[in-house]
Each structure stands twice: as C-alpha cells, then as structure tokens.
Structure 1
C-alpha cells in the first residue's frame, strides 16, 4: 500500500508530466507512471514527450540524479498531431476507441476527423487504424519536449482523459443495467414460455438467467 508521502509525491510528479497518455513509459497512463516513480519502481527517464526537461523536473522532485532518456522508450521529439486522410477513412470507429482524450469525432461508417487543439500526439490511433489512413504531422517547428508543449495543454489533456474514463465507465454501467433488465424480464417471462417444458429444463434455463443476472449486478456494484 502506498504511504501518504508516496501519494503526495505521485500527485506532484503527475502534475509535472505532459499528460499525453501515450503509454510509452510502460504504464497505462501518466498517473500510473507517476505512482510507480513515487514508489521507486520506475525510473525518472521513461517519458519521451517530457524529454530532458521532464527528467530534470522529476529529478528535482525525487532527489534522484539526472540521467539520459531511456532509449527503449523512444526519443524526445517535436509535437506531432494526428491527421486523418478523409479519402481513405472507412468510419470503423477504432481510432475513436483508442484515443485517450476523445479528440476524434465521427460515427460508424462516417468519416472521422481529429480536433487538432485537443490531440496530444500520443499516436495510439495509428496502430488501431486498419487502413493506415492516419498520419502524424509536426506542428512545433522543431521544438521538442516541454518546449513544444505547454502546462495549459497538459492540464487540458488531463481533464479530457478524466472525462474519457467517466464516459467509458458510464457507458459500461448503462450496458450492465440494460443486460440486467433484459435478464430480469426473461426470468419473469419464463413460466409463460415453458408451460409444456419439463421441470428440469425449466430449472436449467432459470439457473442460466439468474447467473447472468448475478454477473450483471456484480459488475454494476464493482463500478460503484
């Protein structure tokens, strides 16, 4: 269990990260990486978007020596934003699902587009696209790391990432509620559809429906 000091340090470290949520550090998001650094489980040199300045920031916070960026995580580079080739987009929505900050808009079988002012350059949409219609375009004129990215942009990205998770969790809760309602309706309607069915078959069907209902309720409770 993390200590109060580790929690406080993790919050400071998270606030010093660029919030691209790119996962290149080896963790699912910036907050998870910050927690790992605070616990001493991760190096301070695993964030390519933060670059050399990011490492210096984390070194000052943790008291660790400044070290070069871990080459296994990538290299420090300019800010690049995703651009979708509209002529090739098939509207599969896979890039929308992959985007951690909900900056891609569109609908199934409809051309998608990237809201440039909200894109963090995480590149997670690139492998998700089945037709390779997404390209990364440099927009920082050669500036890299924190010189290419601002604190205001990082704060906006953090807020959008938090909203993304709220949206996903709400959608999952809504789906669980629909499944539970459907199972309850089937359970209530079971006698009418099994008037000429032997009791053993009825009980098996009832058990299957009740098990599905229990799973749906358990998922609802776990999501709070």
Structure 2
C-alpha cells in the first residue's frame, strides 16, 4: 500500500479552477492564482471562466461566504472558441506563441488553424495578431461558467498547459546551452596562437576591405546568415503563393506588422528553432486528449 501526501490548500484550490489559463484573474496562469488565494494575497472571486459556480466552489472549500464575481476581471459568459480567418492569416506565429494550451497548429509563413476541441477560449491569441484575423466565437449557447465547461476538459487543459511549460523550459535550457557552447568555442579559438607563415607575393586578387572585415566580424556573419535565411523564406513564400497554398495577403504588410513578424523570427533564431520546430505540438506526450 503506497502512502500519498495530502494535497496542499493551493493544490485543492487549483483543482477547482477551470484551467483556461486566461490570466483574467490578474495572474499568469491558474496555479499562480491558486497560490495567491491560499496565501491570502488574492480574493476567490476573480475567475470569470469559473463564474458564479466557481466562486461558490472556492467559498465552500475556504469556509468563506459566497460572494459575487468581481466583474473588474471580466464577466461570466458562454465559452468561446478562437477561429482564424485563414485567408487573412500571414503566418507570423504570434498567436501560437500566445496560446497557453498549444491549441493552434501552424508554422512560420504558413496559415494557422485552431483545434476547436483544445481551445479554452482564453482570448490570449487575439491581442498579438497583427492583422486582426482571429475571432472568438461563442459555442455553448446560453450555458456559461462551469455549465459551459467540464472537469474533464479542465483537467485536459491543465495537462496540455503543463506539457507546454515543460517544453518551453527545455527549449530555453537548450538555447542557453548552445549559447554557452558558442561562447566557449569563441574563447578557445581566441586563445589559440596564430601560426606565422612567410609572407610571399600573392597572385590572387585582394578582397575588398569590407569583405575582409565581415569575415572576421561575428556580428557581420550573423547578419549575412539572417539575410540568407530571409531570402530563402522569400523564395519559398513565392513558390507557395504560385501553388495557392500560402497566406494570401503577404504582399502589402504594413511596417508595424512586419516589425512584429521580424521580432518573432528573431526570437526563433535566438532559440535555434527550425521551421518544423515552430509548429505547435498539441497533445504532446499523452495523446489521450488529441481529437480523432
């Protein structure tokens, strides 16, 4: 017989939250909000997705009075699902980065789509979209709060969120390891003595000073690599457009939108992610919540 440790108050509070990870409570996810309630730093009526029933559940657990939902954090509503207009989507991946449960599938410069069964209706993908191509569509009719959501759905959303956070931590650690390895390699290269060779007249043409400087300048090399990658992406986008398989509005992107896209691409490069790795990973690990 295996003994299990009793759950902490924060863990029991978290079990009663809908796990939409929407941040409307004022905290970055459901678990930090549960920790804050347990510590007396947050009230138990700040979760709009849980609605009035969610407040009642928490009040019963905490032995406190049933109070109204604090509408400064949002109102109880029918559960929505994000829908992407794929004809307007430009493939910037900003919505994928914002989704807390990996419910959006796509890749850089490719159209994205939402897996409706996995969407928690958190709204977090809407603000970063530079072309306003995401709509939140109510799908539960008059049912709101916990009437529009089930415990099984909440548990599955929490599992996906936890897997996503673990994956992001692995990517961060891997990026730091790669950066440390590059720094160590540069340091080792700098410590090596430069071999002295006899100076003989050369019959080869002398490279321009700018070219010689760029070959010795790591930042210049990096810029050249980025430029080459952008050129490859541009050619690929043109090929996809000829086939009618790419986003349809990438020719006239505003400077502000392009700046957001460039920022996302720079982040991916810093992480060392490939094109395939930019795709979302819904249901990573336990595939039980993956739609058929």
TM-score bucket of the superposed structures, by smaller chain = 0.7 to 0.9
Separation in 2 of the partners of 1:58 and 1:112? 37
Q: Give deviations 1:18-49, integer Å, cap 9, x for gaps.
A: 00000000111111111111111111110000
Give the deviation of 1:131 after TM superposition.
0.5
Moved over 3 A (4+): 191-196
Separation in structure 1 between the aligned mates of residue 87 and residue 143 of structure 2, nearest angstrom: 30
Deviations 1:75-102 (A, max 9, x none): 0000101010000000000000001011
* Residue 64 (structure 1) aligned with residue 64 (structure 2): yes
Per the alignment, residue 148 of structure 1 pairs with 148
Question: Aligned partners of 1:33 and 1:58: how far apart in 2?
Answer: 12
Alignment of 1:153-172 (within 5 A): 153-172=153-172
Superposed counterparts of 1:82-97, under 5 Å:
82-97=82-97
Please state how far the C-alpha of 1:191 moved relative to its aligned partner.
3.6
Q: Which structure has more helix as a fraction of its residues?
A: 1
State the TM-score, normalized to the length of structure 2.
Answer: 0.63
Kindly state the Cα deviation for residue 174 of structure 1 after the two structures are TM-superposed: 0.9
Task: Kindly report which structure 2 residues correspond to 1:1-224, keeping only aligned pairs within 5 A, or say none.
Answer: 8-192=8-192
* SS of equivalent to 1:68: coil
Q: How far is the alpha carbon of 1:194 from its aligned partner?
A: 5.9
Q: Partners in 2 of 1:194 and 1:166 — Cα distance?
A: 44
Unaligned stretches of 5+ residues in structure 2: 197-292
Kindly state the Cα deviation for residue 193 of structure 1 after the two structures are TM-superposed.
7.6
RMSD: 1.7
Structure-2 separation of matches of 1:77 and 1:120 = 13
| 1:156-206 deviation digits (Å, cap 9, x = unpaired) | 00000000101100001111111111111111111458679xxxxxxxxxx
Give the superposition deviation at 1:141: 1.4
The verdict on how the C-alpha distance between 1:185 and 1:48 changes in structure 2, with shifts beyond 3 A counting, is same
- Aligned-partner Cα distance in 2 for 1:182–1:145: 50
Distance 1:123 1:71 in 2: 17
Distance 1:129 1:194, change over 3 A: farther
SS, match of residue 135 in structure 2: strand
Q: Distance in 1 between matches of 2:163 and 2:111?
A: 24
Provide TM-score, normalisation by structure 1.
0.82
Q: Secondary structure at the match of 2:8?
A: helix
